[in-house]
Each structure stands twice: as structure tokens, then as C-alpha cells.
Amino acid sequence: MKVLSLFFVTAVVSVCGQTLGGPKHDKKVVCYIATWAVYRPDPGKFSLEDLEPSLCTHLVYSFAGLNETTNTIKSLDPWQDLETDYGKAGYKRLVGLKQKYPHLKVTLAIGGWNEGSPRYSNMASKPETRAAFIKSVLLMLNNYKFDGLDLDWEYPTKRDGKPYDRENFVLLVKELSEAFEPYGYILTAALGAGKTTMETAYDLAKLSRYLDLIHMMCYDYHGTWDRVLGANAPMKGIGENDTLSVEWTVEYLLSHGVSPYKMVLGLPMYGRTFLLTDPGTRVLEYGKTPVRENGFKGPYTGEAGFMGYNEICVQTTNKSSPWVYHWHEQTSTPYIRDGEKVIAFDNGRSIAIKVQMAIDKGLGGVMVWSIDTDDFKGNCNETDAYIDFVERHKRMVYDPVVKKAVENLHIPDVTLVGSKGPAYVIQDDKLHLRLPQPKYTNYALMQTINDAITLAVEEKRIMDEVKRLEEHNVVKTDDDKGASSFLQSSVVCVVLSVAFVLNL
């Protein structure tokens, strides 16, 4: 009878009190939530109940604002954020997810594009106004049990900011960091990725010292404001001197004192829309093909020149759709076209390429803007996300140094590991790449991000061991040399620095 009672109690706990985990890797996956997505029309309407918290390590509630009279933090949508006056209690509901998902860190972001720059410039300009702000932040975090604050001032020194914003932003961050330390709060910031913004707005080395994580907004490099067609988040630029690319931004940050393990690479879950000036244009060229001043709107987001991935993927997966899919090799991005309409966006493949680069460079992880424009309803399918992993694996599998590296690392045999999840395993005495099975699933891009991180971490581990063996003069025959030439041509970004993991 006691055994039965114990079994019953255990069963009840497992059903009623079960806590759930997060990603299986040790990298950060920071998920911003645009809380105004709840006002979009169905099926693009997104509420906090639509979240899948297991896909993220951090959730960022976006946005709070700044009361410019009192220099204090405030809710921008009290009915949605707070409980008073029969409000929807968004703060409480999001933080409450930690009861079921204890791995989560939930922070509050302040700022955003619509908040502008001047009020933050004024607040940061004096010790007393910074102190008032910091006091209000501590009160807000304590009242609603957030784990920390994300600063999204867009941007110091710019958009009617002041030249001294650069230094004052560092002072604000330093003073916030010192005030947060006794409470263990997290302090992060979202930084702009344009060259002039990074040069004028940020003392990157000092910010890296005081911030726990730096969220790099590696998107919005191009849009209709250029008056020519371009990729929203190109992996590489279209020329040697093109600074508007993810790769250039990351290299700039690393060379200007940002610790790689504190850098979180921003990935867009949306694309940019264009209307061609000449609808009859046959060949489209990034950086050259003229477009109109304004793009077209998506059916859910309703913003000219912008479409969420959940709006775009429906077009790309509809076989009767007039949209034609293209891949732009130089920037590693897809685009689709229907006559005069063009959408340049990110899909699973382009996201996986950026994830692999982030892991190779030892970055702390990735963030997404924003999770509410992923395919959270599960209407689409990502079938080609791992093409580049497959191509690299084909070149790895017969290389004798890779084989030796795999032996040293004790990669498990396929019969000894579970059947779920992406992995590198040994099958028939060869290195085998096991990929997720294509299927319709909610959050196709978020699933791709986490699977790609898992694979990229393991691939880097193998290649680091290959590098170590090569440095110790592993001898190859002439026949072997050709098989392993991919080390120079394919895996360019391998680094030897240890990626420290912060338990933030």
C-alpha cells in the first residue's frame, strides 16, 4: 500500500508540478518579444500564451519607456503590462513562466526606435538624473521580479542626441552595473550595427567591461531608404569596402575590445520589402537595382517595407504562389520576387550560416528580433536549413586527420545515442551527420537556431582538434592532402579561443 501511495504521489508531481527545460546547448538564445504583436490581426496576433519558452534562455519584454519629466522608467502600455484597472498583467505573466521553466532569465527592455534619443540623452547627462533613473529601475525590477534590464537607446549621439552621449552612456551603464550587483540583476544593451553608429555612439571596450551581454542588432543594414535593392542582414558585403554586413560588424566589435563571450549575435525574423522602379527589370542586383521610396506591407504587421517571416514563408511554401525563390550567394540570403515586388529576408539556411559563424568566433550566443514574427502557428516548413552543414560534412568524412580527431574526441556510435535531435555520430566507422527530420512545426526558425547551435558547437570541437593535430605535425600522404584541403577553403573561421559560458 505504501508503494502504491508513493507511486501515486510521484505521478501527481510529475503531471501537476513538472518543470521544463530549455535548449540542450550552453549558448545564450535571447528572445525579444514585441508586446504590441497582440494587437495584430489573426493569424499574426501573438500573445504571451503563444510563447514556447523551451526555445529560449532569455526572454526580453519589449518595451518600457522613460518619463522625461521625472527621468524614471514607465510602462508604455499599462493595460497590457500591469494588473491595475483590470489590466492584462503582461509583466507578471511573463515572469511567471519561470515557475514552469526555471532555466529562463526574464528581463525588461527600455527604449526602442519609437522612444527616440533626446530623452535618454537628457537623462544620462547629469549624475542626479541618472540616479533618479537607476532608483526607479531598481524599484521596477523588484516589484515585478524581473531578472534585469536591457538598454535599447537608439542611439547615443544620433537621432538628435548629443556628442557627449558616448561618454554618458558608459557612465549610465557603469552606475547601473554597480547598483545591480548586490541584487544579482542582469544588465544588457542592444547596440546598433552600422559603422558610423558603432564609431560615434559607443565606447565598446568600456561597455563590454560593464555589461553582462551585448545584443548586436545585426539587421536593417539595407531597406528602401537606400533606394536600391539590398539584403536586410547580409552575411558578407557586396564589395571589399562594404562595411554593411554581419561579418564586418562582428570583426569590428572583436577588434575594438568586446569580449566574444559577451557578444550575442542578433538575427532577424523578418525581411524587407521592395517595389522595383522598373517592373520590367529582368536581372536583379543587390546595391544597384533601383526601388521605390516605400515598400509594401505585410497582412499582419502592416508596416511598409517590412514583413515578418511568418508572413513571408506562407508565400514561399505555397506551390501555386506567383513568387519565385532565389538565393543570393555573396550575401548568403534568399529573396523572392513577384513582378515588381521583391522581399529580401532570412530563412533557415541563412540563419544557420550566421549561427555557425557565431559559434566559430566563440560568441556567447544569438538573439532574435523578434520571436513573434517566427512561424509560431506552424504553417511552414524549413527543408533546406542544413545544406551548408551537409556540404562541409561531405568534405570532412574522408579526411584522415578528421578521422583521428573524431577518435580522440570519442564521438559516440549511433547505437549508443538516442534517436532524437541533431548530432555528429559514428556510423559504419565513419563520421555521420544526423539532421532533424523535415516536418511542419511551430517556430521553424527558432528550432533551426537551436539545432544549428548544437551542430555548430560539435563541428567546432572537431575542427579545433583537427587544428591541434595539424599543429603537432600529423603526417599525411600525398593522396590524403587533397582530401583535407577543405580545412583551408571551407572552414575559414575556426578560432582557438575558449568560449566562456556565463550563467546569467
Overall fold of domain 20-269+347-373? TIM Barrel (3.20.20)
Least confident range from 70-79, 113-122, 381-390: namely 381-390
Please list, in sequence order, all residues whose beta carbon lies within 8 angstroms of the beta carbon of residue 149, skipping any fewer than 6 positions away.
107, 108, 109, 110, 137, 141, 176, 180, 185, 186, 187, 188
Least confident range from 73-77, 285-289, 313-317, 321-325: namely 313-317
496 pLDDT above the threshold of 50: no
DSSP state letters, 66-130:
EETTTTEEEES-HHHH-SGGG---HHHHHHHGGGT-TT-EEEEEEE-GGG-SHHHHHHHTSHHHH
What is the spatial distance between Cα 223 and Cα 239, in angstroms, rounded to a whole number? Answer: 18
* Portion of the chain with pLDDT greater than 90, in percent: 84
Per-domain boundaries in the chain: 20-269+347-373, 387-489
pTM reported for the whole predicted model:
0.91
The pLDDT value recorded for residue 18 is 78
CA nearest 234: which of 297, 226, 324? 226
Q: What are the tens digits of pLDDT across the range 131-185?
A: 999 999 999 999 999 999 999 999 999 999 999 999 999 999 999 999 999 999 9
Beta-carbon neighbour count of residue 496 at 10 Å? 9
What is the spatial distance between Cα 413 and Cα 429, in angstroms, rounded to a whole number? Answer: 8
What is the spatial distance between Cα 77 and Cα 35, in angstroms, rounded to a whole number? Answer: 9
Beta-carbon neighbour count of residue 386 at 10 Å? 22
Cell (9 digits) for 407: 577518435
Beta-carbon neighbour count of residue 464 at 10 Å? 18
The length of the chain, given as a count of residues: 504
- Asked whether 231 and 186 are in contact (CB, 8 A), the reply is no
CA-to-CA dists, residue 203 to 126, 152, 253, 314, 446, angstroms: 18, 16, 10, 42, 32
Q: How many CA atoms lie within 13 A of 181 on its CB side?
A: 8
What is the spatial distance between Cα 384 and Cα 327, in angstroms, rounded to a whole number? Answer: 12
Q: What are the tens digits of pLDDT across the range 192-240?
A: 999 999 999 999 999 999 999 999 999 999 999 999 999 999 999 999 8
391 pLDDT above the threshold of 90: yes
Cell (9 digits) for 302: 502592416
Cell (9 digits) for 377: 502557428
Residue that wins the pLDDT comparison between 178 and 428: 178
Question: 382 pLDDT band (50/70/90 cuts)?
Answer: confident
CA dihedral 463, 410, 497, 251 (to 10 degrees): 40
Cell (9 digits) for 195: 559603422
The pLDDT value recorded for residue 17 is 60
| Active-site residue, selected from the candidate residues 115, 154, 247, 459 | 154
Query: What is the per-residue burial (b if ≥16 Cβ within 10 Å, else e) of 109-130?
Result: bbbbeebbbebbbbbbeeeebb
Least confident range from 198-212, 337-351, 396-410, 480-494: namely 480-494
476 pLDDT above the threshold of 60: no
**Residue 154 annotated in active site:** yes
Residues paired with residue 286 on neighbouring β-strands, in sequence order: none
Q: What are the tens digits of pLDDT across the range 294-317?
A: 999 999 999 999 999 999 999 888
